[in-house]
Amino acid sequence: MTSTRMSRRAFAGTALAGTAALAATVMLPAHRAAASPASLPPPDPTALQAAIDDLGQPPSTAAQLTVAGTAGSWRGTSGVADIATRRPVTPQDKVRIGSITKVFVATVVLQLAAEGRVELDAPVRRVLPGLLPDRFAAVTVAHLLDHTSGLPDHVGIPEPETAEEVFRHRFDHWTPQEWVATATHGPLKFAPGTRQEYRGINYVLAALIVDKVTGRPYGQAVATRILRPLGLARTVVPGDDPRIHGRHVHGYLAVADGSLRDITTYDQSSSRGEGDMISTTSDLDRMLTALFSGELLPPELLQMMFTLPPNGIRMLDGSPARYSTGLQQAVVNGTTFWGKTGETYGYKNAAFSTRDQQRRFVLAYSPTAARGGEESQLIARVADLLTRVPTSEGRAAAVPSLTD
């Protein structure tokens, strides 16, 4: 089916706000990242609960936070999973995790590389013949994974102006091939490997590579290689199913009259491989633990996930590159985190850890604002609280200016 489908990132505001929420609040550019403090303070339960209880900034219906690591653990929830029944949200409730899906896909591609079944330097056209035009011959698998492919912008995707437009198109369906075709018009935006631009289409293609190499849908490979071995029983690759099954948090959007309309159920086909998965904060914390501990990848390939492109490779706006293979880097109050943000209609998430796993945190909440750049405020508050180190005078360090 060829149909219209709006860009979720355009609806949320900008690509930066949509997929790099934590990175947008960093104190230091990624390539000048300070070393993490030798010892982070234990979590402050009172301050953290107050942070997630503030569901007015941004307007949200629910929040879940899991903090773990050697520096201490804490878990809290706030709000309701369903505004109709007023059922309180619990840590076991599933949410849509958006672009955190990319961490799973990148891990599987690297596993296939470790087995000699995928060559990271191979041109994508060779792995997926007939999908990309000849002029994209220089784009490799590695370029997809670290967002240095230079693929063109999508053409033919309506940009939403209102929440009502989202609901009008919520069940539009795309095949992966149709979706890829919308990003093949015109020349590459830059020579592959010379710049960095965060693009979901890179991971739509990466998931198709998993399909081709394994001979089955990428979700089956994720389940076999990651979900079942790690016991992630509440994590799902939904395929063509637009629903969330079992206990879950509903997502809502505020419509023109100010009321909230349920957006939980909608077609995820345009997000296949880059933003369609469902999980819980506990499952995502387990995934971070296993990944960072080396349970899923050999050391040389795991290191790729903690290696940014060379200093000369910049984002399109001139800022330093901040995406590695499958992860992104953010520095808050001098502490370097690796992980991923994710969002989709009615849901926003952040899953991050320090490399030494002193501090991991997974935050999931349900913002309802249709437009604007304020949806990342809760991530910024939580990240600040988890990284403040008291000064020698016993006072907390000054809070940085947090902007998108």
Give the β-pairing of 195-196 and 314-315.
parallel
Domain coordinates in residue numbering, the chain: 9-387
Give me the CATH topology for the region 9-387.
Beta-lactamase (3.40.710)
In degrees rounded to 5, what are phi and psi of residue 338? -125, 140
Phi/psi-derived region of residue 72, left when phi > 0, alpha when psi is between -120 and 50, beta in every other case: left
pLDDT at position 114: 98
pLDDT at 148 over 70: yes
pLDDT of 36 above 80: no
| All residues at 6 or more sequence positions from 395 whose CB lies less than 8 Å from its CB, including other chains | none
Give pLDDT, residue 103.
98
Active-site choice (60, 78, 99, 270): 99
Closest CA to 146 of 184, 109, 112, 181: 109
| Maximum separation of any 2 CA atoms in the chain, in Å | 64
pTM for this model (two decimals): 0.91
pLDDT exceeds cutoff 60 at 34: no
When the pLDDT of each residue in the chain is averaged and rounded to a whole number, the result is 89
Cβ neighbourhood burial of 19 (10 Å; 0-12, 13-18, 19+): buried
- Average pLDDT on 375-388 reads 94
* Measured CA distances, 310 to 144, 273, 337 (Å): 16, 26, 19
The predicted structure's pLDDT at residue 399: 38
Backbone angles phi, psi at 340, to 5 degrees: -160, 140
Q: What is the pLDDT of residues 173-224, one digit of tens each?
A: 999 999 999 999 999 999 999 999 999 999 999 999 999 999 999 999 999 9
- Count of residues making up the chain: 404
58-114 pLDDT per residue, tens: 999 999 999 999 999 999 999 999 999 999 999 999 999 999 999 999 999 999 999
Residue 375: the pLDDT is: 79
Q: Where are the alpha helices (DSSP H) in 154-298?
A: 163-168, 176-181, 201-214, 218-222, 228-230, 281-292
Decide if 259 is catalytic.
Answer: no
How far is residue 312's CA from residue 266's CA, in Å, rounded to a whole number?
A: 41
pLDDT at residue 160, rounded to an integer: 79
pLDDT of residue 391: 55
Average pLDDT over residues 268-277: 97
Mean pLDDT is lowest, of 31-35, 39-43, 170-174, for 31-35
SS3 content of the chain, % helix, strand, coil (to 5): 30, 20, 50
Give the number of other Cβ atoms within 10 Å of residue 58's Cβ. 19
Q: What is the per-residue pLDDT across 278-319, written as a single tens digit (0 to 9) for each?
A: 999 999 999 999 999 999 999 999 999 999 999 999 999 999
CA 134 to chain centre: 30
pLDDT at 390: 65
First to last CA, the chain: 37
Mean pLDDT of 364-391: 86
Return the pLDDT at 30.
Answer: 40
